[in-house]
Chains A and B, each alone.
Chain A
Amino acid sequence: MKMTKIYEGSHQWIMFGRDEGKPANIIDTNQYVVRTPNRCLLLDPGGAELFAPMMAAVLHHAPVDQITDLFASHQDPDVISSLGLWDQALTNAKLHAPAIWEGFLRHYSCESIEYVPISDNGGTIKLESVELQIIPAHYLHSPGNFHVYDPQAKILMTGDVGAAFEAPDAPVFVDNFAAHVEKMRHWHQRMMPSNQAKRVWIERVRNLDIDILAPQHGRMFKGDDVKRFLDWFDALQVGIAV
């Protein structure tokens, strides 16, 4: 599992992905960790298949008892089907996840972890002195969907928005936006169902000061590529399968 520190300040952001040991027939995912002095938040911790390499990778940054928070942007298995395993490994943790998916996500088993439901209008996650904003991103692509914004690190974790599928050895940041577009086009047209939801989300995130846009699949966007992505997405017609 490749680990890349993408922010270092009063706290850290670490991106995990490009797992070489993962079975070839499952989708590659990026996991993000926000590390404060005594706590650790896993954003979209991944599928059950990924649990062992992900846990092993996190242990380079935090002990098990400091993994106190999990966040699931939505209910998909590549996002959170590892929940039942985290549930048995962690003794004092919370799962921040969309309220509408609570009954569904509990199918993965969530007995010792406390489910903290996120209402439709979002909220915050407080991690010691760090306050992360939970940004609504409904219908992008899931009907109950959230992104996480860190105003201090200026990172927006965007789940499936900005996703692309890459070779295992691909760089973690977009280095040629024009070339990258074709890796994203069909995914966004097919997986994102609503042009209206997309416009509302773009208006919302254009107001945020973003250095890094961090999707759950493929490369991250930084600097000017963040605006390029938003402009490109704004112009894209989505929901093409109907």
Chain B
Amino acid sequence: MTNQTKSQFIAVASITSELSAVMVVAKEISLAAANAKAIAFRAGDKAKGFQPITDFINELAKETIELVTNINIYALVLYRLTVDEFQKTTAYNKFELAAKMAEGAAYAKSMQEPVDHARLSMQDCQRQFKRDVSQLLGQLEAVMHHARAARVIAANSRIEASQAGEYLQSLQAVAESVDKAAHTIHDNVQRCRIALSIYRNS
């Protein structure tokens, strides 16, 4: 196995690992939203501005979970494609070697067709991999967008929390947890993008 193939396997496997962490954090945001809603309900008029924000946070968390679920399915497809590409590249290399070793054999020429077919299959796989990586990067960008939106919401939440009297601390804690979670999602997804981006144009 070449170093590039090993790196490709690692990159694809690391997406699943990073995204499972994102999933945990997105679920935490969802919980934070439910918690915030309960506090805002108790706070009544003092947290009036906070109430619509909780719905927004919840919606954002749901969408992130949905996106990550889809990306995970896509990452599995990409993993299978990586295995397929590895098998086809191995076959092509072995077929070429067999053709070379068979020079002078009565039926050496009959190896040309399998060699050509293996080369085309390998190239198809490589092109498909690049296409899929580009699409996956697009989906990851969507998650990043959600993470950025969550940080804006967290900033707004802090402002609203400051007007919530005795509920200030509880609501600020909610804002902090949303901000922290958004930060984690951003970092994890960014690592996925860096790991994959070298394959988009390789």
Q: Which residues of chain B are within 8 angstroms of A88 by Cβ–Cβ distance?
A: 87-88, 91, 95, 114, 118, 121
Q: Which chain A residues numbered 116 to 169 have a C-beta less than 8 Å away from chain B?
A: none
Cα distance, A61 to B108, chains bound together (Å):
10
CA of A88 to CA of B99 in the docked complex: distance in angstroms? Answer: 15
Cβ contact within 8 Å between B91 and A59: no
Give Cα distance in the complex from A53 to B94, angstroms.
Answer: 9
Q: A70-92 vs B: 1/0 string, CB under 8 Å?
A: 00000000000000110011000
In the assembly, what is the distance between CA of A52 and CA of B95, in Å? 7
Q: Give complex CA distance A213, B98 in Å.
A: 29
Q: Report how far A55 CA is from B99 CA in the complex, Å.
A: 8
Complex Cα spacing A59 to B97, Å: 13
The yes or no answer to A14 lying at the interface (CB within 8 A) is no
B101 touches A52 (CB 8 A): yes
Known contacts A64-B114, A89-B95, A89-B114, A59 near B102 by CB under 8 Å:
yes
Residue of A at shortest CB range from B118? A88
Residue contact B110 to A52, C-beta cutoff 8 Å: no
Docked Cα-Cα span, A180 to B100, in Å, equals 37
Q: Which residue of chain B is the closest to A64 with respect to CB atoms?
A: B110
Q: What is the predominant secondary structure among interface residues of chain A facing chain B?
A: helix
Contact B107 A51 (CB under 8 A): no
| Given contact pairs A84-B87, A89-B95, A55 touches B107 in the complex (Cβ within 8 A) | no
Interface bin, chain A: 10 to 19
Contact of A59 with B105 in the complex, beta carbons under 8 Å:
yes
Interface string of A213-234 (1 = CB under 8 A from B): 0000000000000000000000
B107 touching A62 by the CB < 8 A rule?
Answer: yes
Mostly, the B contact residues are helix
Contact B98 A51 (CB under 8 A): yes
The answer to whether A52 and B114 have CB atoms under 8 Å apart is: no
Q: In the complex, A61 Cα to B100 Cα: how many Å?
A: 16
A237 proximal to B (CB < 8 A): no
The reply to whether the CB of B106 lies closer than 8 angstroms to some CB of chain A is yes
Whether A53 pairs with B101 at a CB distance below 8 angstroms is yes
Interface residues of B in 41-93 (CB under 8 A from A): 87-88, 90-91
Instruction: Tell me if A65 counts as interface (CB < 8 A to partner B).
Output: yes
Whether A56 touches B101, Cβ cut-off 8 Å, given contacts A64-B111, A88-B114, is yes
Contact bitstring A107-119, B, C-beta under 8 A = 1, else 0? 0010000000000
A78 smallest CB distance to B (angstroms): 17
Q: A52-B94, A84-B87, A88-B88 are in contact. Are A60 and B101 (CB under 8 A)?
A: no
Q: Bound complex: CA of A84 vs CA of B88, how far in Å? A: 10
Q: Mark B103-127, 1 if CB is under 8 A from A, else 0.
A: 0011110110110001001000000
Q: How far is the CA of A39 from the CA of B102 in the complex (A)?
A: 19
With both chains docked as a complex, state the minimum distance between the C-beta of B123 and any C-beta of chain A, in angstroms.
Answer: 14
| Cβ contacts A47-59/B at 8 Å (1 or 0 each) | 0100111011001
Decide: B91 and A89 in contact? CB cutoff 8 A.
Answer: yes
Q: With the chains together, A53 CA to B102 CA distance in Å? A: 8
A60-B95 CB under 8 A given contacts A52-B101, A55-B111, A88-B114: no
The reply to whether A59 and B110 contact each other, CB–CB distance below 8 Å, is yes
CB distance from B115 to the nearest CB of A (A): 9
Residues of A within 8 A of B105 (CB): 56, 59-60
Cβ-based interface call for A37 (8 A): no
CB contacts (< 8 Å) of B94 on chain A: these are: 48, 51-52, 55, 85
Most buried by B among A48, A59, A62, A85: A59
Chain B residues near A (Cβ < 8 Å): 87-88, 90-91, 94-95, 97-102, 105-108, 110-111, 113-114, 118, 121
16 contacts between A and B (CB under 8 A): A48-B94, A53-B98, A56-B100, A56-B105, A59-B98, A60-B107, A61-B107, A62-B107, A64-B110, A65-B110, A85-B95, A88-B91, A88-B114, A88-B118, A89-B91, A89-B118
Given A48-B94, A56-B102, A84-B91; 8 other pairs, CB 8 A cutoff: A55-B102, A59-B98, A59-B102, A59-B107, A61-B106, A63-B110, A85-B94, A89-B91
Q: Which residues of A contact B (CB under 8 A)?
A: 48, 51-53, 55-56, 59-65, 84-85, 88-89, 109
